[in-house]
Chains A and B, each alone.
Chain A
Amino acid sequence: QITLQESGPTLVKPTQTLTLTCTFSGFSLRTSGEGVGWIRQPPGKALEWLALIYWDDNERYSPSLKTRLTITKDTSKNQVLLTMTNMDPVDTATYYCAHRRITAAGQYLDYWGQGALVTVSS
């Protein structure tokens, strides 16, 4: 059974750097085809994809946030980290990590963590 859990600070100040950790079980990022993504959701708003990392170290980023995001993995700890620089109050959101499933015609997110609410405020 696949599970994921986000962890990190609940409050960050403007201009600071946010680092979130996704700890997962039930699969390995050493396995071909596996991937983990980060998605966020501002209060009352829609889902927004942020980044993906694949078993082969390939990374994909949302074009609108690419300059601020870094996604990395620690396969020995079954963790994926997301770093977002220069945080602003508009970045206040619930941040989710999710397991990515690939198909011949795309990819989807079949297991999600419960989410971590991050508030950006001075």
Chain B
Amino acid sequence: QSVLTQPPSVSGAPGQRVTISCTGSSSNFGAGYDVHWYQQLPGTAPKLLLFGNSNRPSGVPDRFSGSKSGTSASLAITGLQAEDEADYYCQSFDSSLRGVVFGGGTKLTVL
């Protein structure tokens, strides 16, 4: 049971827009901690996709965007491409657990 809750799967056709939600609580998002997102392509290590709610590391396309409000956050991907098919994880810090927390991951399928 992950501290952050994500939908197990989402899907979309090439060119479409999809969103992935991440629900937290008063001890993480509600306490003011940021959300960060990771992309894990099949058979590879996770890669930082967004940090500080909405900031993209160098090299990440602007098709990826993020937001956080209250105890919820979301990742949006526009102009879906086949190469976006991957698992996506949200992450934050939890003041009760005094450590890093992850979501359960969302598998994105590009139809």
Contacts and interface: CB of A to CB of B under 8 A. Distances in A.
Interface of A: 37, 39, 46-49, 52, 60-63, 96, 101, 103, 105-115
A49 B99 contact: yes
B30 interface: no
How large, as a class, is the contact surface on chain B?
20 to 34
A47 B48 contact: no
Contacts of A115: 45
5 contacts: A39-B100, A62-B99, A105-B52, A106-B33, A108-B34
A37 B34 contact: no
A-side interface mostly: strand
A111 B97 CA distance: 23
Given A49-B101, A60-B98, A112-B47, A105 B89 contact: no
B100 to A, nearest CB: 4
B46 A96 contact: yes
A106 B24 CA distance: 14
B47 A49 contact: no
A47 B102 contact: yes
A46 B51 contact: no
Interface of B: 2, 32-34, 36, 38, 44-48, 51-52, 57, 89, 91-93, 97-105
A49 B103 CA distance: 11
Contacts of A61: 99
A46 B89 contact: yes
Given A48-B102, A62-B99, A110-B51, A96 B89 contact: no
A108 B97 contact: no
A105 B101 contact: no
Contacts of B32: 105
Nearest to A37: B100
Given A46-B102, A60-B99, A106-B92, A96 B45 contact: yes
A20 to B, nearest CB: 15
A98 to B, nearest CB: 8
Contacts of B33: 105-106
